[in-house]
Structure formats: C-alpha cells, structure tokens
Amino acid sequence: MIDHQAVAGREALAPPDVDTARQYLTRAEAIVEQRERVVDRRAAAWLTIGTAVFVAAYLFLAVHGFRQEVPSVEIQSLLVPLLVLSQISTGIAQRGDRGPRRSASRRLLTVGGVVIAGGALIVFFLILVNPSISTSWILLPILAVLLGYGGRGVVRLIRASRGPRPLPAVRTPLTDGSRWGTIAVGVLLGAVCAVSAVPDAALASFLLFVSLLALLAWISMSSTGIGLPLLGASWRWPHVLALAVSAVVFLALRLPAIDGVAVAPATFLLVGLGIVLMFVVVSMIPGRDLDA
C-alpha cells in the first residue's frame, strides 16, 4: 500500500496506472539529462583552471621580482588582468545556474581549501618580507593554488565532461553596452601593458595606480549593466580567448625581467596596441543571448 498526499481540501487523485508511472519516471530521467545539456559548467571550470595557473605564475613572478628588485610596476600590473579575470569568471559562473549544490562533505573540502590558501598567503608574505627565507618556499603556495583551486577546476571539468554534450549557446550580437565594455577591457589591458614602456618609474607607477583605481571603480559597479560580471555572462569563447591570450602575454612579457633581461619599451607599446585591437575585433563577434 502506497501513501497518498492529496492537495489540501481536495480528494486524492487516482494513482497513476503502470504505463503512466513508467512514463513519469522516463520523463524525470530525460529532464535530468536535458538539464545537463543546457547547463554548461565547462567554461567556468576552464576559467577556474586558468585563474589558478595565472595566480601561481603571479606568485612566482612576485616573489622573484621583489627579491631581484624588478620595478614593482612590472609585477603589480599583473593584478589588472587577474582582477578582470576574476570578475569575468564571476559572470560566467552566474549566467545560468549553480547546478547541483555542494554536499556537506564538499563544503568541508572547500573550507579546508580556504584554510590552505590562507596558509599559502602567509608563506608568500613571509618570503616577501624576510630575505633570509629561500624563494624555493614559494613552491608551497604555488602548489596549494594549483592543486587546491586548479584541482577543483579539473574535478569540475571531468564531472562536466561525463555528462551529455551541452547545447550550444544561443548567439546574439553583443549589446552596445557589452560591446563598449569589451572594448574598454581591451583598452584597460592594453594601457596597463603599455605603462611598462614609460621610462620614468614614478610616472609609470602613477599611471598604473590610476588604471587600478579605474578598474576598482568599474568593479564597484559590478552589479550594474556596465559591470564586468554582465560582460562575462554575455561573452562566448572568442571573447574569453582574447582575455586568456592577454593574460598569457602579460605573464610572458614579465618573465625576462626575472632573469634581468630588459624588454624593449616598444614591445610593451606594440603588444598593448595589439591587445586593444584584439578586443575591438572580438567585440564584433556575437555573444551569448542571456534571455534565451
């Protein structure tokens, strides 16, 4: 005998017959499969992995850069693509849904990850402030970031890859706001890249400071229509690829400084211009229809 919960104030409906019950069960399975098709968590997983790699590279460059007295503007300029990346990631993660929520055990793992990340940050700052500590210790925070944060992205990617192939995003031209926002990201990254070409260190620091302030002002508007998360939500892979290429270029241009090799100022200028042009081009590529 099966219990039956009727709608309040009404007679219980007749129980479904076998065929109807079977159809309902089949329908439930089909809906779950369709959910996995519609909700694409791969992009967010890839961004998590990319961000972990970028943060790890930043930690490496920051520690070695400070020790070898590389101008701080070279290292701090990396914060700009990092902040943009985190804001865009937020938008991509928020654009659809959160999917199945984390179980209690996974929450525990998350808390553990936060504790490890906190410990890694402490190690990072200790290395920065205490020259007697070997820079090799930076491997600890780097491993913590790669295994903790990046590993989480890999797990998410594997889990997402097991499901059915997601439906392609519904394409639509970027709105005027998103198009200008995309170009503005390019202008910001290009300008920050070009700052390294300024010969006067004080002026370069000032220009970087102004760029960071502009970015922070933009981030403070993250919940508005011109916020970076909305941009991330409306971007498709070509736009994200442009950001990833910019981030890689930012890192690649700083690597020679660690070995004491000076990159020609014109290189920073040309690369900065290239970044702006790249974002102008991708701003014309259709994005994702958020209303679909």
Partner 1 sequence: MPEQESGSPRLDDDFASALPFSLMAALQDGADLEFRTLRRILQAERSALSGAILLLENERHVALRRVSFGEMPGTWVAATPAGSAAFRSHLAALRAIVAGAHAGR
- The residues of the shown chain that bind partner 1, judged by CB under 8 A, are 2-7, 10, 12-13, 15-18, 21-22, 24-25, 27-28, 31-32, 34-35, 38-39, 94-103, 167, 223-225, 227, 229-230, 233, 290-292
Residue closer to partner 1 (CB basis): 30 or 213? 30
Q: How far is the CB of 32 from partner 1 (least distance, A)?
A: 6
Q: How far apart are CA 51 and CA 46, in angstroms?
A: 9
Residue closer to partner 1 (CB basis): 36 or 74? 36
Residue closer to partner 1 (CB basis): 205 or 222? 222
User: What angle is formed at CA 261 by the lines to CA 258 and CA 262, rounded to 5 degrees?
Assistant: 110
Q: Which residues, at least 6 apart from 185, have a Cβ–Cβ distance to it below 8 Å?
A: 84, 228, 231, 243, 279
Does residue 250 contact residue 81 with C-beta atoms inside 8 Å? yes
DSSP for 202-223 reads: HHHHHHHHHHHHHHHHHHHTTT
Q: How far apart are CA 154 and CA 42, in angstroms?
A: 10
Residue closer to partner 1 (CB basis): 101 or 162? 101
Q: Which residues, at least 6 apart from 108, have a Cβ–Cβ distance to it below 8 Å?
A: none
Closest CA to 37 of 163, 149, 145, 126: 163
Q: How far is the CB of 158 from partner 1 (least distance, A)?
A: 17
Residue closer to partner 1 (CB basis): 13 or 202? 13
Mapping DSSP to helix (H, G, I), strand (E, B) and coil, where does residue 232 land?
helix
Residue closer to partner 1 (CB basis): 96 or 113? 96
Q: How far apart are CA 278 and CA 292, in angstroms?
A: 27
What is the number of other CB atoms lying within 10 angstroms of the CB of residue 32?
11
Closest CA to 290 of 188, 160, 177: 177
Tokens of 220: 């403070």
Q: How far is the CB of 201 from partner 1 (least distance, A)?
A: 39
Residue closer to partner 1 (CB basis): 207 or 233? 233
Q: How far is the CB of 5 from partner 1 (least distance, A)?
A: 4
Q: How far is the CB of 57 from partner 1 (least distance, A)?
A: 30
Q: How far is the CB of 49 from partner 1 (least distance, A)?
A: 23
Q: How far is the CB of 232 from partner 1 (least distance, A)?
A: 10
